[in-house]
Chain A
């Protein structure tokens, strides 16, 4: 029985799209939320250049004398670009939200997908705890000390020292950053991208102010300001040169000749943060024009951006602070020869160079915002992964519950509690956290290698998807995607090599990594087969979730 009375037929309106040989009719359709520009920013944040410039690079000057950082940056960029290209092309062929888990589980095996995502999540959760701790010990404490020194305020210096030494203050600041991150993520894309893009702009302004300050007030002006600020503490008129002398006396070569042998581990150190410019694959399903070249190119562009920033600012720092001093200060930081409670982060030294309380305050605010920025960027990974688990049926559907205000309440609560627990472990648990954190970087290489394998085999396992993608070019009869995937695997192999070969990069206990990996992999496999068993009791065959229906 027909309930539809006759209706006047509609009229088809067809237009050529951009002269591109495609005629589209006016019809309803999906509009994705995230612009390619936002994914570029998202990926730059994943390799957060401000924090890298502060804590992740210049320690290599003392650890690997003679390492040429410029060569290290650009060799690491080549590896990062190759990795970004391979993973970006996979993501553009299968633009799905859920990241490595979705891609690896569909193309290799669901259990391998869980191993990949367990490793990635472990690395990210450990990193988030580190960022929470860093918000207190790298940003808040040194900022108070730094501004206190410039303002000659013992109160601010005392507060800074308290933050640096009090576990409870560190925990409170870390939790505050997590709460801010949860608030940002819970507001949906609109709030998230508003914060992301605003914070990114602020960080950019901070870097610009740093560059201008150091160009104007570097060199002799910096030496003069540094000695003035140091005099009340060291009681010496020329602390600047005394610091260099102390380092040299301690056996540190502040002006070493170039050493290729020591440049290789520096490449590894740079790769430790530069090869995560593919993080937007966790939101690929929400990105506009996700199935074009735009996404891999944005990933490469974000790696290039970070590399250029590192190159430019390293040059500025060496010229403004003096190479010998900068090497000596980074090597002596934390020892009795270094006079300040605040480490020689570039923000601290630039604040001293400026001699201005207001400018110092601006510089520290712009720097401190990096911590919530990287934290809520990292929050996205476990939240999206939990969503993907729930949609696949290996976790209950209620994990993907979204509130009326579109907040992923349950997944966010799970991630928040997990991160808070790991933060507590990091602060109150002694050295155990740092033993595991040192190998966290290796956990994060696992998905890179597996995604490379996905890229290699995708044209053969999903030929239809590959043929319809933007990447069907072949070189010597081999799909470009497979070649890019092989490049990703090789680049990640270098990453493995650096971290396992050079204990100076932090992985002093390879056994700890192997045991941790074995535990994670076993848990992941057990989790998958456990979920399959439970779902089978409920009449659900989980293997169907991962399988492709043959179209023929």
Chain B
């Protein structure tokens, strides 16, 4: 067929075609999670894939006082004197990816004093909020054909794993091979070592061994999709500031020095297996779409603290990626 005719001919997916939406690193942002669940209808996709790092990073006490409540938002103290204002205040906190935590001034002071208590309260809030998220997913998706394929990320505490099990709408798939349309989906939450010593980190050798074990179970590796939280090393999807031992950026010319921080094991597995598509998150500032051999590798990036859901719509045939579109919903 001539290129001109081909240009005017609308491309259609074959019978085995699949449209999916992928996002990652929403870090507790309630608006982003709601948008993720609505993305199936909005973008007309058959599957939602979440690439990990679901839990938020900060807890904001909403302090009760004689006038109502107050909390720090965006560098200023905001007050809420009515239930409606309180709801708006908590919503603004959630929009930034933080968890509102209603407390008395005495409880806040106690939190300041006790390290263990801070960790306990934080984890409890995470679990409560995540349970609410799963409930939202069930309410939105359970009655549809769409399923959300969700993995945690290296930053997510272990306590959320059990909440992923048993939901009719959410498919827990970390460390497993599941089916998504006619494709096999290999999912993996772990990352290589980071300076933060987060929950799910491994040395590259261990990472490779686990990925190899998993990928050996694929029936047709060349049509598989990988949902692997950490991006491949030096792929252009993994540029982040170099950090010193105190977690401060290493500066050069007064600015952070950017280095590739992805996983060499992940890169090696992609080069060896050459799946159809790999989906990654982890490095928020390294949005992009690259090719590694025949594999299309995507990191949609993250702007979780602005309430914007960065993601990618991907359309696949049985044997090729037909279309990919970065979106910011």
Contact = CB atoms under 8 A, between A and B. Distances in A.
B306 A291 contact: yes
Contacts of B58: 17, 22-25
A115 B287 CA distance: 26
A35 B155 CA distance: 26
B290 to A, nearest CB: 10
A544 B326 contact: no
Contacts of B233: none
Nearest to A4: B175
Given A33-B258, A189-B258, A539-B315, A393 B326 contact: yes
Given A21-B61, A552-B34, A545 B155 contact: no
Give the interface size bracket for B toward A. 35 or more
Contacts of B217: 1
A30 B286 CA distance: 10
B258 A544 contact: no
Interface residues on A, range: 35 or more
Interface in A440-471: 464-465, 467-470
Given A4-B190, A549-B39, A551-B38, A406 B258 contact: yes
A13 B303 CA distance: 23
Give chain B's interface secondary structure class: mixed
A402 B289 CA distance: 11
B15 interface: no
B318 interface: no
B327 A544 contact: yes
Contacts of A12: 119, 122-123, 157
A311 interface: no
Interface in B181-231: 188-190, 194, 196-200, 210, 213-214, 217
A466 B115 CA distance: 34
B307 A544 contact: no
A232 B153 CA distance: 78
Interface stretch (A190-198, A324-332, A367-375, A504-512): A190-198
A27 B305 CA distance: 14
Given A9-B199, A464-B95, A391 B190 contact: no
B293 interface: no
Interface string A186-224: 001111011001000000000000000000000000000
Contacts of A548: 35, 308, 329
Interface string B269-288: 00000000000001011011
A393 B325 contact: yes
A94 B307 CA distance: 10
B122 to A, nearest CB: 5
A472 B78 contact: yes
B329 A190 contact: no
Contacts of A400: 288
A406 B289 CA distance: 14
A343 B107 CA distance: 72
Nearest to B313: A544
Contacts, number: 227
B24 interface: no
Q: Which residue of A393, A537, A539 has the most chain B CB atoms within 10 A of its CB atom?
A: A539
B178 to A, nearest CB: 10
B66 interface: no
B297 to A, nearest CB: 13
Contact of B255 (A1, A193, A536): A193
A394 to B, nearest CB: 11
Contacts of B141: none
B199 A465 contact: no
A275 B112 CA distance: 46
B194 A28 contact: yes
A471 B288 CA distance: 31
Interface string B290-329: 0000000000001101111100010100000011011111
A311 to B, nearest CB: 29
B254 A464 contact: no
Contact of A467 (B76, B92, B197, B315): B92
Interface in A17-51: 17, 20-35, 38
A546 to B, nearest CB: 9
A534 B34 CA distance: 31
Given A31-B241, A536-B10, A193 B305 contact: no
Interface in A387-433: 391-393, 397, 400, 402, 406
Interface in A505-552: 534, 536-540, 544-545, 547-552
Interface in B94-127: 95-96, 98, 108, 111-112, 115, 118-119, 122-123
Nearest to B61: A21
B326 A391 contact: yes
A463 to B, nearest CB: 10
19 contacts: A3-B175, A4-B190, A4-B210, A21-B61, A21-B77, A23-B122, A24-B58, A25-B59, A26-B196, A31-B240, A31-B256, A194-B252, A293-B75, A397-B289, A406-B258, A467-B92, A534-B7, A549-B39, A551-B31
Given A14-B118, A190-B257, A465-B95, 11 more contacts: A1-B217, A4-B210, A21-B72, A23-B118, A33-B256, A194-B254, A291-B306, A393-B326, A545-B328, A551-B38, A552-B34
Interface of B: 7-13, 27, 31, 34-35, 38-39, 42-43, 53, 57-61, 63, 71-78, 88, 91-92, 95-96, 98, 108, 111-112, 115, 118-119, 122-123, 154-155, 157-158, 174-177, 188-190, 194, 196-200, 210, 213-214, 217, 236, 239-241, 243, 249, 252-258, 282, 284-285, 287-289, 302-303, 305-309, 313, 315, 322-323, 325-329
